[in-house]
Amino acid sequence: MSFASSRTLTDRGASQAERWAVTACCTAASLAAILWSWRHDALLNYGDAVAHLHIARRVLDSRTPRFSQLGSVWLPLPHILLIPFVQNYQWWATGLAGVIPSTLAYIAACAGLYRLARHFTSRAAAALALAFFALNPNLLYLQTTAMTEPLFLCEMIWIVVLLVEWRAAFAAELQSPSPAQLALHPRAGPANALTASIQNSLRTIAANSSRRGNWLSAAHAQSAPKPGIFAAPSGRFLAAVAAVLVAAIFTRYDGWIIAFIAWTGIGLTLWLHRRLGSSAFWLLSVAVLAAPVAWFAYNSVNFGDWLYFARGPYSAHAIELRTSAPGAWPPHPGWHNPWQSLLFYLKVSQLDSIAAAATGNVIANTILALALLSTITACIAKKSPSSRRAFSWLLLLWLPVPFYTWSVAFGSVPIFFPSWWPYTLYNTRYGLELLPAIAIGLGLAAQLLANALAWPRVAGPSARLLNRLLLAPFLRSLAFAVFFALAAINALLLVRAGPLVYLESQTNLDARLSYDERIPPVLEDLLSLLPRAPVLMDTSVYPELVSLTGIPLRQTINESDRQIFQAALAAPAGNAAVIVAFQGDDIDRAVKAHPQGLAVAARFTANNQPPATIYFSTKWMDKSPLMRLPKLTGPLGNDLAPPSRNSSPNR
């Protein structure tokens, strides 16, 4: 039984034609969404998407290219995947670099969800689950950006797929051990290791007794190499599970909880069946455990604190303290209130996936409850204990509920949406992590209904006639047609109302748009006087200003090059030709402390944003031959007359 084509669970495994059809349909949906986002300039709406691209770019394009440019708070895998694509300046500047890995993750997630549903349901029910998942407009939009949710959804789905298949393969090997299993676990064989060895030797000699040189063949058989630790199908499935778990650990912190539960469950299963001594399990355990340990070590070595990602200046807690309204208490709804946090997360999950959630709670709550109860009912209905245990891994898809309940209550992760106070939009995309569980649950609900409509089949023409008379096949087809129609209507209504995740991205863009449109032209004019001159700026808040200005990141002195940045703060005019300061940041404080040799080029203000000021260094500008021309061109021509050496920094 091969790893790729084994049917370890049911005979309903997806055929090759189904897999190609799923890939083609999901690719078409993805391309349509990409075209829409491109035409609406929505690839870079999210500030976080811009930041992900910026982090990936600065690994190689910075004054000190190195691995630690990956930063400290966000986990590194999404940025590592972006590195090959952000090397193209236009792809980086326009956001196309983020589309490629997100789109591939979306297509892989769709394929995994269909494969998972196909293990337990008919083709029609699996297609229904896929349609509900793949046509979600919030997900379709996110897969056109550099956000990490599509990648993590892909990993979460495939973790469950591989766990289900590993459990089924493991159960099959317990019932009918393969030769590899007999070699690895002799007690699974006839009586003991000695008996098994003797019987194998006798069979080898008997098989070669009619040939000449039978003693040579027998000796060769005895000296054959032992099977590898991943020779059995379950071992290969286990290796695949470990690989995806490590990827999830390096993608989002949710993956740490999933990895802990999944690997503990695997170990418990092996212990119950006296297989805990498996070499494959312990070797892979080292790999899974090494992933978070490596992240701790990375933070300790590069930032001096092994928990820097959790308690540093860019951690969720620090950001909440900076962004909370002065005097507001609690900082956000659900703070230290798990019940309220649970309600907020369930509501935002419904708003992301169910159109009816925007108009009321009854229908949305019913659909959510139906998905959960159908999953539990289908699990209980499994007659085979091994199938029931394999099926129980589906419950892992519901892990986002307790995880985000805790995160909102105690992890400084607020979630806002317009229906409830404070009536704004923030972190609404987290609700999409429950989309696979809802999709699979609705597919199971449709399958349970189809099974209920099926008349008990009895051999003989009279039973077939009775079945036709009762219109059971027609009723099943009608039920699936209604379900598909409802799924399509749901997607259309979500689009019509405005996908919540897209609306949040628009709000995010609107907050930055004023500076994005007004600051880069000023920087371009200044740098036209001194091409390739260094620019001192903090790129953690407005990283897109660099690409909008058309300069490489290595031309800037920014916070990621800590030693160079600190030296520049001590003498801004001597280290940079142009300085971009936002009120209250490190550069603003440095300019006020060391104003010598600086002049103001322009000031900017925007609603709900800190005021910005662009300075230029008179020391650097004196070196520019263009400053000796009789007349300057561009919007700064009147303001940037050649400065006198006695000019005031605040002229």
Other beta carbons within 10 angstroms of residue 52's beta carbon come to 26
Q: Please check whether residues 513 and 493 belong to one and the same domain.
A: no
Per-residue pLDDT at 216? 43
Region 519-526: mean pLDDT is: 95
Closest C-alpha among 382, 552, 549 to residue 451: 382
Q: How far apart are CA 558 and CA 541, in angstroms?
A: 11
Q: How far apart are CA 168 and CA 386, in angstroms?
A: 7
Alpha helices by DSSP H, 530-632: 544-549, 562-570, 572-575, 586-593, 618-621
| Count: domains in the chain | 2
Per-residue pLDDT at 645? 37
More confident site: 206 or 60: 60
Residue 644 lies inside a defined structural domain of this protein: no
Q: Which domain holds residue 546?
A: 506-628
Q: Please check whether residues 487 and 514 belong to one and the same domain.
A: no
Per-residue pLDDT at 479? 86
Residue 178 lies inside a defined structural domain of this protein: no
Q: How far apart are CA 292 and CA 307, in angstroms?
A: 11
More confident site: 12 or 39: 39
What mean pLDDT is reported for the chain? 86
Residue 212 lies inside a defined structural domain of this protein: no
End-to-end CA distance of the chain: 80
400 burial level (CB within 10 Å; 0-12, 13-18, 19+): buried
* 580 phi and psi angles, rounded to 5 deg: -115, 120
Q: How far apart are CA 67 and CA 59, in angstroms?
A: 6
Q: What are the counts of helices (DSSP H) followed by strands (DSSP E) for the chain? A: 29, 5
Q: Please check whether residues 457 and 547 belong to one and the same domain.
A: no
Of 140-154, 379-393, 441-455, 606-620, highest mean pLDDT: 140-154
474 burial level (CB within 10 Å; 0-12, 13-18, 19+): exposed
pLDDT of 104 over the 50 cut: yes
Region 539-544: mean pLDDT is: 92
Q: Per-residue confidence at 224, pLDDT binned at 50, 70, 90?
A: low
pLDDT tens for residues 579-629?
Answer: 999 999 999 999 999 999 999 999 999 998 999 999 999 988 887 766 544
Per-residue pLDDT at 295? 98
Q: Please check whether residues 584 and 528 belong to one and the same domain.
A: yes
Q: Please check whether residues 265 and 161 belong to one and the same domain.
A: yes
pLDDT tens for residues 147-158?
Answer: 999 999 999 999
Residue 486 lies inside a defined structural domain of this protein: yes
Region 289-301: mean pLDDT is: 97
pLDDT of 193 over the 50 cut: no
Per-residue pLDDT at 261? 97
Per-residue pLDDT at 212? 46
Q: Please check whether residues 571 and 425 belong to one and the same domain.
A: no
Q: Please check whether residues 600 and 521 belong to one and the same domain.
A: yes
Choose one of 464, 497, 530: the last residue of a domain: 497
Q: Please check whether residues 562 and 490 belong to one and the same domain.
A: no
Region of 416 (left: φ > 0; alpha: ψ -120 to 50; beta: rest) is beta
Secondary structure string (H, E, C) spanning 37-48: HHHCCCCCCCHH
pLDDT of 358 over the 90 cut: no
pLDDT of 222 over the 60 cut: no
Per-residue pLDDT at 468? 56
Per-residue pLDDT at 1? 36
Per-residue pLDDT at 323? 72
Residue 231 lies inside a defined structural domain of this protein: no
Q: Please check whether residues 33 and 161 belong to one and the same domain.
A: yes
pLDDT tens for residues 392-443?
Answer: 999 999 999 999 999 999 999 999 999 999 999 999 999 999 999 999 999 9
Q: How far apart are CA 319 and CA 311, in angstroms?
A: 10
Per-residue pLDDT at 467? 60
Other beta carbons within 10 angstroms of residue 593's beta carbon come to 10
Residue 210 lies inside a defined structural domain of this protein: no
132 burial level (CB within 10 Å; 0-12, 13-18, 19+): buried
Q: Please check whether residues 403 and 273 belong to one and the same domain.
A: yes
Region of 349 (left: φ > 0; alpha: ψ -120 to 50; beta: rest) is alpha
In single-letter form, the type of residue at position 624 comes to: S
194 burial level (CB within 10 Å; 0-12, 13-18, 19+): exposed
Per-residue pLDDT at 354? 96
Choose one of 497, 514, 535: the last residue of a domain: 497
Q: How far apart are CA 108 and CA 130, in angstroms?
A: 12
| H/E segment holding residue 614 | strand 609-617
How much is the CA Rg of the chain, to the nearest whole Å?
Answer: 30
CA contacts within 13 A on the Cβ side of 440: 34
pLDDT tens for residues 37-91?
Answer: 999 999 999 999 999 999 999 999 999 999 999 999 999 999 999 999 999 999 9
In single-letter form, the type of residue at position 248 comes to: A
Per-residue pLDDT at 519? 96
Strand order in the sheet with 609-617: 556-557, 535-536, 578-582, 609-617, 598-606
Distance of CA 486 to the CA centre of its chain: 28
Distance of CA 549 to the CA centre of its chain: 30
Choose one of 454, 472, 497: the last residue of a domain: 497
Closest C-alpha among 602, 560, 550, 555 to residue 581: 602
Region 163-175: mean pLDDT is: 92
Q: Using the CB atoms, write b or e for 240-272: b if 16+ within 10 Å.
A: bbbebbbbbbbbbbbbbbbbeebbebbbebbee
Per-residue pLDDT at 177? 59
Region 492-510: mean pLDDT is: 96
Greatest pairwise CA separation for the chain in angstroms: 108
Residue with tokens 């995160």: 407
Q: How far apart are CA 532 and CA 38, in angstroms?
A: 31
Q: Please check whether residues 436 and 521 belong to one and the same domain.
A: no
Percentage of residues in the chain with pLDDT exceeding 70? 82
Non-local (6+) Cβ contacts of 583 within 8 A are: 610, 611, 612, 613
Range in 131-140, 190-199, 314-323, 347-356 with the lowest mean pLDDT: 190-199
Tokens of 266: 């695997």
Q: Per-residue confidence at 647, pLDDT binned at 50, 70, 90?
A: very low
Q: Please check whether residues 450 and 307 belong to one and the same domain.
A: yes
Distance of CA 552 to the CA centre of its chain: 28
pLDDT of 128 over the 80 cut: yes
Residue 73 lies inside a defined structural domain of this protein: yes
Per-residue pLDDT at 349? 97
Region 332-345: mean pLDDT is: 95
Per-residue pLDDT at 476? 82
Residue 211 lies inside a defined structural domain of this protein: no
